[in-house]
Structure 1
Amino acid sequence: MTYTEQSLDALRLVGDELADATVATLFERGEVGKFNTLMRYVSTVGQELPDGLPDVAREYLHETSSPPAWVDWGEMEKARLFFIDNNVHISTALSFASMPACYVVPHVAKLLSATHSLKYPSKRMAETGQFTVYLMQPDAFEAGSRFIPAAQKVRLLHASIRHHLAREDRWDTAALGTPICQEDMIGGQMMFSIQVLDALHRLGIHMSVEGAESYYYAWRVVGAMLGVDQEHVPHDLEAARAFSDLYMVRHMGPSEEGAELTRQLIDLYEEVVPGTFFDPVVSALIRYLIGDTCADWLRVPRTSWDTVVKLAPALLNVLETIEDRSPVGAWALDRLGHLTTLFELSSLTRGRVMHYAIPEHLKKDFDVPSYAAHTHRWTPPPPHLS
């Protein structure tokens, strides 16, 4: 699949027809409040939908209740094992590489600033972390799972943002395209997949080619369930890199919103890190993972830890080697990673479950694993900048 400026421009005009129509009808009929109230009690697969749920919402939930028919469950199991093996590293990459990558795209940073209170930066991180944990459970698509209802709600949340921004004259559609358009949804999929893999590589994490491919595959499934048109989604890592590189070169740059969101992210994690001595590690890690140019655009402060953080790959390489050679060591490190991820998620959510409700209005004020040996290591190719 070949991507061009023209083909990506066309994707900027398209949203998500099914979710957009559902949200528009809920607002037209004044049923958003009723939907949110009833859907708070629908959190797992297999639950009976509550009486009184608006018909249009019931139809949407029925139509989106199953994963795509093309899903390869063997690949999804490989992705789950990859996540177990690398969960704490993936959480690190999501927090300190993927989110700053979102902020370095000015129109995405503008949208995030317009739709999320800056007083609660943990909300988006908590929602992302919780969503990923739900996805990587062994029963993610079975009765009792929380993943599918979460995906259904996130898709409607995105549609509601498009609805509000288009009607409240808070978005320059002519210049910026449709809010959360198909290009940006695919771009977001790249940030949470291939850019995570790049960050893991930069940290010195051992990954097999099979593990990297399966992890990317899982995010293709996620994209399909979030309303991304699969005709335009890269189907493999090579195509994903071509799309990601072109997308970032087209859009990345400095912005006030991006710098403010990054400052909030740094402050949030400095609060999570015990004490104050290690606080500069947060800024240093972001700068190391996204590079000096992007870090300067986001006004990530330079610290005395910038040089120290560059030693992280050597340390992680030692731990990864222990994991590769010792089943007991692998079990212990996987368990430690699992507990660390749960601790981080608990800190961000304050122990609460995130519900992904449809906002009735927007805020006006900015208040590899045992299945594959670590031979044939995955190494990212150079960027496609042409």
Structure 2
Amino acid sequence: MSEPTAQTDPPAATGRYTDAYLDSLRLKGDELADATVEALFTGGQVPRFNTLMRWVTTSGQDLPTGLPDAARDYLQATATPPDWVDWTMMEQARQFFIDNDVHISTALSFASMPACYVVPHVARLLSATHSLAYPARRMAETGQFTVYLMQPDAFEAGGRFLPAAQKVRLLHATIRRHLRQEDRWPEPVAICQEDMLGGLMMFSIQVLDALHRLGVHITPGGADAYYYAWTVVGAVLGCDPADIPPDLQAAREFSDRYMMRHMGPSPEGVHLTRQLIDMYEQVVPGTLLDPLVPALIRFLIGDTAADWLEVPRSGFDTLVKAGPALLSVIESFEDRGPWASQLSDRLGRLVTRLELSSLTRGRVMHYAIPEELKPARGIPTPTSRWTPPPPIDHP
């Protein structure tokens, strides 16, 4: 990687995320994945690749015969995690996930996804992609991907995370190619490095913030480990490691700058949010609790963003604010001893699996390249809480 100019210096100090630097990230895609996808389309080999890759689901499998050379080279180059991974931190992140899996699933569904929709160009991107037009599929893929990441064997032979990440990376590259060739994107690069890092913030910082708002007890070490795991994910998914915010403080600054630059209302954001609400209202039995879904979204993302997304108001808006108190009661039960914490963790995993099963309908989600676009164990009781820092004042 060449030495950066003074105008686009990589993040290294407070105030690092200037408009000039972030603008430079909007011109960058994912060179390796983009070249692979271009070779597959140019050679007319996409259908063949999709058919063969349907059977590649775990790390360590022998690659099927007949794979195009470009695809084989890509899969071999991306078959292992970065050599800088701190496995102690990854294990801490896994245990954090085990302890908070239901809360994390709630945060992903009702905070992270709406936060994506409040960025107009991201909402337009999701709306432009046929396979992403269905919220159940989108949430199922996100949930399954996170579960794969937090398995003990995620990066080992037999793990499902790396093959899923390899396919997601090619999916993103394919969307970039389609939008560029069909002249359907107003900027040089769709799913650029800034937006890829923005997505990373949605699933890390936004989740931690949502957990805090829900009243979930998080240690500083747990928050650090959870964010660290997503920095690894970012590198695996094609983010330039030099551009990934190195710690929570830097991630907070990046996230704030990204949202300040891009967030706002859009028809696509309203439509996607309505789809999300409708989907979860169908998952919740009966109709009595239907208003709980939009109330939870409004509570987690705030009134301004919720109004942009036209999240409906109801009497549940006040009721849902009692959630943190309820979670405090549950956590006090967990504090009674390791047996209580283990029981809570097992119940949490069961609820998460039931939710994921309802979204996937028991199927493994496959990340095929679209040929065209269409309009377990207890954790010691924490001794201190993680608290988000105060908002950063931006010039």
Equivalent position of 1:194 in the other structure? 205
Give the one of 326, 330, 335 matched to 2:346.
Answer: 335
Matches within 5 A, 1:229-308: 229-308=240-319
Contact 1:78 1:371 in 2 (8 A): no
Equivalent position of 1:172 in the other structure? 186
* Whole-Å separation in 2 of the counterparts to 1:195 and 1:372: 25
Query: Residue by residue, what CA displacement relative to the aligned partner does 1:285-330 show, whole Å, maximum 9, x if unpaired?
Result: 0000000000000000001100000000000011112213321211
Q: For residue 189 of structure 2, what is the amino acid of its counterpart?
A: T
1:149 is displaced (CA, Å) by 0.2
1:376 is displaced (CA, Å) by 2.1
Using the size of structure 1 for normalisation, the TM-score is: 0.97
Q: For residue 242 of structure 2, what is the amino acid of its counterpart?
A: E
- 2:351 partner SS: helix
Query: Residue by residue, what CA displacement relative to the aligned partner does 1:102-145 show, whole Å, maximum 9, x if unpaired?
Result: 00000000000001357622111100000000000011111111
Equivalent position of 1:41 in the other structure? 55
* Whole-Å separation in 2 of the counterparts to 1:157 and 1:371: 37
Contact 1:211 1:372 in 2 (8 A): no
Q: For residue 236 of structure 2, what is the amino acid of its counterpart?
A: M
Contact 2:295 2:316 in 1 (8 A): yes
- Check 1:369–1:375 CA distance in 2 against 1; reply closer, same or farther (3 A cut): farther
- 1:231 partner SS: coil
Equivalent position of 1:121 in the other structure? 135
* Whole-Å separation in 2 of the counterparts to 1:117 and 1:360: 11
Matched positions, count? 380
Equivalent position of 1:326 in the other structure? 337
Equivalent position of 2:4 in the other structure? none
* Whole-Å separation in 2 of the counterparts to 1:120 and 1:186: 23
Contact 2:176 2:189 in 1 (8 A): yes
Question: Are positions 1:381 and 2:392 aligned together?
Answer: no
* Whole-Å separation in 1 of the counterparts to 2:377 and 2:114: 28
- 2:335 partner SS: helix
Equivalent position of 1:156 in the other structure? 170
- 1:310 partner SS: helix
Tell me, which stretches of 5 or more residues in structure 2 are unaligned?
1-11
Higher relative contact order (CA 8 A, sep 6+): 1
Equivalent position of 1:205 in the other structure? 216
Contact 1:44 1:147 in 2 (8 A): yes
- 1:92 partner SS: helix
Give the one of 1, 15, 27 matched to 2:41.
Answer: 27
Q: For residue 265 of structure 1, what is the amino acid of its counterpart?
A: L
Query: Residue by residue, what CA displacement relative to the aligned partner does 1:321-341 show, whole Å, maximum 9, x if unpaired?
Result: 221332121111111110110
Percent identical pairs in the alignment equals 70
Contact 2:126 2:133 in 1 (8 A): no
* Whole-Å separation in 1 of the counterparts to 2:118 and 2:45: 36
- 1:325 partner SS: coil
1:371 is displaced (CA, Å) by 5.1
Matches within 5 A, 1:17-96: 17-96=31-110
Structure 1 stretches of 4+ with a deviation exceeding 6 A read: none
Contact 2:338 2:380 in 1 (8 A): no
* Whole-Å separation in 1 of the counterparts to 2:152 and 2:382: 23
Contact 2:266 2:308 in 1 (8 A): yes
* Whole-Å separation in 2 of the counterparts to 1:12 and 1:372: 43
* Whole-Å separation in 1 of the counterparts to 2:381 and 2:359: 34
- 2:128 partner SS: helix
